[in-house]
Structure 1
């Protein structure tokens, strides 16, 4: 070896360029494609690959025990991301029980992901893998997710959710007597009780999942985030969607990602000094620049509002939806569900038809008066400061039916 040769030094501008244009992801995708496909003409293959490649297309995998809410979250995520919603059940549709196997499922999934819509729009997959063997089968097939979300909840919560499932026969969407209820009365009236596994069967499925969960976590440790699903679905979704944005920064190996990682490891809020660069990077993308953007749930306090105010991304419309504490409490704490019929009632606007039904109504845990009072106090405290940051904000009366509120908002959206 010639000791006079100096080690190669890469100028810092190259790293900046690579990070800005996502070169690492691009090279990884091309090499993965070459290794898996092994084309006869690599150059032509890469040219075709680059013409079709969409680096912004999400590849999301949802894991978790039975009855934890994976399908509901997956459908919500796919709608928000405009990605293709894929389930193991849909991929195996039309097969007999004899043909139903993990190998066939992976083969069908591999073919499905090569189709144009999945390739360009990305995908959200739920239902596979369930075991370490299936993980290896997916890896051999080149099916490698960029984000893996794992939901978890105590067994008693999963049993309760399993016993109260309802299905919309028109859309196939899944609801629950207590935890997931449609706002639309038309949907609510047509819901059907879903026949699920017995408690014994569900406990057996949970045990099989618990035996495999360590291997699943290990296989996807670099892109994995675990969320507590024992909370309102909207809160779970908000954490997952915001977490995905932060995880994408953590996983890219940048200096900013290294600073965010410790907060996410222990479940602490990421400070604004780190969160704002991530948000600004997302708002600077072509889709936000051309089509605009809507922020919901941010900013939620003065510190976040000041950080956003000092950035170059200013909202041109700010809406405050207003309702009194009494109205908020009435809408949430006074509602209950009949576990027998699945019907939802409200002590003021839609009382139960009899004392017998009234006595058996059940209230969701997060609709309790104490929890709601705490959330309202925190909101009122933050709201006063937010109004000083946005003095020209539009205040809408939310003590009306949803359609009226939406019409009022739309009428003010395009006016000065």
Structure 2
């Protein structure tokens, strides 16, 4: 038993240094390249890789239902980025033993097994052109199992794009679809017409709505799993818009550098600026842990442990800094937070709290300030009410009660009174300048816009730093 090697515990200072200098992202890139290319001399290979810009080449997965426009978009991206366009057809055309095995399934009109398709993709991406130029996987992987197998095999995408469009749009596009059987190029009778010289020279109309619906059904069954496998590097784009708009949105996304840093987000802002709602949206999409201080305090107060007893002994007065920091650090140190990342909000705005948080092993690596005027904060909070029967929330201006019966039973919370909100705003404004000095790198976001627009701005900064 004495020979068992214990897991290495990385000192907090080392973890912070690695996070600040993006060491984890660099290591991930190097290890994934090793796993894919399997060089005979790994040390020389890594040294060459560190000197070379190939770490930054595009590695893109482009997904979506049939007829959504993946193939055309992938072709244009590869032409502009200089990347290799990888499709299921080109994988089957390779002259290798694995490709020959896969072709036997297609000749029998059978699906290529997941493990064999994964081997085909890995084999193709080992080639020098993919390594030097990067690649775009067009419609691959097809299942969550394939995605996981590729990731475990070292095929690590940097960006994943899912194109979406309503079923009626897909049907319209499919009915006018034209395919050049000689080149594989895809055209459309209305949107993308083939060159006059190409007509009658390999261009043919392929319409099989039953086949389309079968492929669409299969995609619908798999898209949730695929999204889950790539949730941290994923962007969904509405494909029911002009091709140029789609292309520009995707290209802008591909130009962001996705860091593999575990997100540790501190969300600051006056009461009423929308911190709770934005934290929920971010946590849902990026699978982070939503850590709300007020909920954490309620949980601690109800806990029967020694910590809960200490918390109860101080309430309703403010907790000492030591107790507040202990609760926060214990929560942020738990496995779910350390592995998935977290977003902390509604932390008391005492400068000592945020200074200690900044100097702790769980210091935030992204800080956002939601900016909103006092008048708007008061309007948002003092005019909101709750229906005690249904639990639904209403607002006198933005979401009034549907009828007089509901209106008559609405209740306001004590913390939403004008006096309480005004006091909370005064406390926050007192510390605003100090908070900005502690976090000079914090991003300031205008919260006086619809919640989805605020979320998109948050997301842009989250994914591009």
TM-score, with length taken from structure 1: 0.53
Cα gap change, 1:230/1:53 in structure 2, threshold over 3 Å: closer, same or farther? same
Q: Residues of 2 paired with 1:201 and 1:225: CA distance?
A: 27
| Change beyond 3 A, Cα 1:266–1:217 | farther
Q: Residues 157 and 148 of structure 1: is their aligned pair in 2 closer, same or farther, counting only changes over 3 Å?
A: same
Q: Distance in 1 between matches of 2:37 and 2:241?
A: 43
2:62 corresponds to: 62
**SS in structure 2 opposite 1:55?**
helix
Q: Give, in whole Å, the separation in 1 of the partners of 2:189 and 2:39.
A: 53
1:148 paired to 2:155: no
| Alpha-carbon distance in structure 1 between the residues aligned to 2:154 and 2:247 | 28
Check the 8 A contact 1:92/1:105 in 2, yes or no. Answer: no
CA distance in 2, matches of 1:40, 1:72: 38
The structure number with the bigger radius of gyration is 2
> Is the 2:237–2:246 contact (alpha carbons within 8 Å) kept by the matching residues of 1?
yes
What residue number does 2:302 align with?
Answer: none
- 8 Å CA contact 2:69, 2:239 repeated in 1: yes
Q: 2:226 aligns with which of 187, 193, 216?
A: 216
Cα contact 1:151–1:229 (8 A) shared by 2: yes
Cα 1:203–1:53 shift into 2, 3 Å: same
Matches within 5 A, 1:11-410: 18=21, 23-33=23-33, 43-44=43-44, 46-47=46-47, 49-50=49-50, 54-93=54-93, 95=100, 96-98=103-105, 100-168=112-180, 171-181=183-193, 185-187=196-198, 192-196=203-207, 198-246=208-256, 248=257, 255=366, 266=452
How many angstroms does 1:102 deviate by?
A: 2.9
- Quick one: structure 1 residues 26 and 186, their matched pair in 2 at CA, closer, same or farther if it must change by over 3 Å? same
- Secondary structure of the 1:61 match is strand
Single out whichever of 130-139 and 214-223 deviates more from structure 2: 130-139
User: Contact 1:60 / 1:146 at 8 angstroms: preserved in 2?
Assistant: yes
CA–CA separation in structure 2 for the residues paired with 1:268 and 1:106? 39
C-alpha distance in structure 2 between counterparts of 1:14 and 1:107, whole Å: 33
Alignment coverage as a number of residue pairs? 263
How far apart are the structure 1 equivalents of 2:189 and 2:171?
13
SS across alignment from 2:93: coil
Deviation at 1:77, TM superposition (A): 0.6
Structure 1 counterpart of 2:373 = none
Long gaps (5+) in structure 2 = 1-10, 95-99, 107-111, 264-364, 369-441
Residues 1:162 and 1:251: Cα distance change in structure 2 (over 3 Å): farther
> In the alignment, is the contact (CA less than 8 A) between 1:60 and 1:124 conserved in 2?
yes
Q: Is the 8 A contact 2:158 2:258 kept in 1?
A: no
Per-residue CA distance 1:184-221 (angstroms, 9 max, x = gap): 5445675723324x222211221111111111111000
> Which of 1 and 2 has higher RCO (CA within 8 Å, sep 6+)?
2
Write the deviation string for residues 219-247 of structure 1: whole angstroms up to 9, x where unpaired.
0000000011112212211111122224x
Aligned Cα RMSD in Å? 4.0
Q: TM-score, normalised by structure 2?
A: 0.48
